[in-house]
């Protein structure tokens, strides 16, 4: 047996030819430019392509961590609903689809809600997760929104909702469509309590979600390039048999036509929404509040900005010290001499000369 040929050489070849397992999602292709971008750079940029500004879908948990102060919030426990009330089956059973979506996302359904502070304002936020069956609206989503709104009312806190959905969940039929009026009633109760409701429309927001709670906000903010509408552009074109305008149903087009109020990049959401909430809640801007808090903590200001009273006291002490030094230089006792006005200084000087001459 040739030890070098049969043992050593295969080991060396196996070592040199060994391929490392590289994750498939190590690089992400920019849909706008076609360039490959390292996924950690995209994640650090809030899932926005650094060069083109194209907004990818942001995981629900990461969005809440970014929005709340310090990334700290308490997750709201959402109620459970019946998994398959209609015993629905198409190519797969509905229960099998739910199991696959729950395994993929680690959540029970397509909604995540939490309560924390945004720029010092206690706020309730909810996020639709498009990764869970396309963020479709079913009974669980409706119950989650109603529960989050009830938490906001109980704590007298504003409610912020991030939408991302393909519409109602067809596997639940009429039960999913019932969530449209149910969530509408809950939103009306929120407004009757005098609390603001801000909606952030992300890509895509379509179907029954757009036809209900997504368009009932006090302010509607859209992410750049987000598709927002009821029916999709292809369905509309096939129905009316006409070519749609450029950018139809995109956030910028809807802003021009008064459908949304603001188109804001994801990196500005904290500042924009925080300012709106403080305005609606009758609070000072966050910068003003921070300045007032620092003043209340007793932080000293610059040395040149001393109060006028302190400046006058320091000037008076300096004047007395100069007079004492001058008197000691002339051999006079200044302990019992009162301070003389400036107009009497020549007379005092003449009296001092007379005393000196008489002594001589």
Residues 48 and 61 in one domain: no
The total number of structural domains that make up the chain:
2
**The pLDDT value given to residue 344:** 46
The span from the CA of 148 to the CA of 159, in Å, is 8
Contact 108, 78 (CB under 8 A): yes
Q: Would 166 be classed as within a structural domain?
A: yes
Residues 133 and 119 in one domain: yes
**The pLDDT value given to residue 3:** 61
Answer with the one of 261, 285, 309 that is the final residue of a domain: 285
Residues 143 and 111 in one domain: yes
**The pLDDT value given to residue 340:** 46
For a pLDDT cut of 90, what percent of the chain falls above it? 71
Give the count of alpha carbons within 13 A of 64, CB side only.
Answer: 22
Q: What is the mean pLDDT of the chain?
A: 84
Residues 46 and 131 in one domain: no
Taking residues 230-239, what's their average pLDDT? 92
Q: Would 208 be classed as within a structural domain?
A: yes
Contact 124, 153 (CB under 8 A): no
283-311 pLDDT, tens digit each: 998 876 666 666 666 554 444 444 444 45
309-330 pLDDT, tens digit each: 445 555 556 556 555 555 555 4
Q: Would 64 be classed as within a structural domain?
A: yes
What is the reported pTM?
Answer: 0.75
**The pLDDT value given to residue 17:** 55
Which structural domain range is residue 267 located in?
Answer: 57-285
99-142 pLDDT, tens digit each: 999 999 999 999 999 999 999 999 999 999 999 999 999 999 99
Which of 17-26, 96-105, 220-229 is predicted least confidently?
Answer: 17-26
Q: Would 250 be classed as within a structural domain?
A: yes
**The pLDDT value given to residue 26:** 86
Answer with the one of 240, 255, 285 that is the final residue of a domain: 285
Q: Would 112 be classed as within a structural domain?
A: yes
Q: Which residues pair with 125 in a beta bridge?
A: 114, 160
- CATH number of the domain that 256 lies in? 3.90.226.10
Token couple for 336: 């019992």
Q: Would 360 be classed as within a structural domain?
A: no
End-to-end C-alpha distance for the chain, whole angstroms: 132
The span from the CA of 237 to the CA of 77, in Å, is 42
């Amino acid at each position: 047996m040739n030890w070098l040929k049969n043992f050593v050489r295969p080991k060396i070849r196996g070592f040199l030819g060994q391929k490392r397992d590289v994750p498939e999602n190590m690089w992400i292709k920019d849909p706008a430019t076609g360039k490959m971008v390292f996924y950690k750079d995209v994640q650090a940029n809030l899932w926005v392509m650094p060069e083109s500004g194209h907004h990818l879908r942001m995981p629900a948990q990461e969005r809440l961590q970014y929005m709340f102060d310090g990334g700290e919030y308490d997750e709201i426990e959402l109620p459970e609903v019946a998994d398959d009330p209609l015993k629905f089956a198409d190519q797969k059973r509905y229960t099998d689809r739910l199991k696959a979506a729950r395994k993929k996302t680690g959540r029970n359904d397509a909604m995540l809600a939490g309560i924390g502070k945004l720029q010092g304002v206690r706020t309730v936020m909810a996020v639709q997760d498009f990764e869970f069956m396309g963020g479709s609206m079913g009974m669980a989503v409706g119950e989650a929104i109603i529960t989050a709104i009830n938490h906001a009312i109980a704590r007298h806190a504003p409610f912020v909702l991030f939408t991302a959905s393909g519409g109602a969940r067809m596997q639940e039929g009429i039960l999913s469509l019932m969530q449209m009026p149910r969530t509408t009633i809950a939103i009306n109760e929120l407004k009757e309590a005098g609390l603001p409701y801000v909606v952030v429309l992300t890509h895509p927001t379509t179907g029954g979600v757009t036809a209900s709670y997504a368009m009932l906000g006090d302010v509607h903010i859209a992410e750049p390039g987000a598709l927002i509408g009821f029916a999709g552009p292809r369905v509309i074109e096939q129905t009316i048999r006409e070519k749609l305008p450029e950018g139809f149903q995109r956030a910028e087009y809807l802003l021009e036509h008064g459908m949304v109020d603001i188109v804001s990049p994801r990196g500005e959401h904290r500042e924009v929404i925080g300012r709106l909430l403080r305005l609606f809640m009758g609070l000072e801007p966050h910068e003003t509040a921070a300045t007032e808090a620092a003043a209340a903590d007793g932080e000293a200001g610059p040395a040149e900005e001393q109060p006028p009273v302190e400046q006058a006291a320091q000037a008076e002490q300096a004047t007395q010290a100069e007079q004492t030094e001058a008197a000691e230089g002339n051999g006079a006792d200044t302990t019992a001499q009162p301070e003389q006005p400036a107009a009497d200084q020549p007379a005092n000087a003449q009296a001092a000369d007379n005393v000196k001459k008489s002594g001589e």
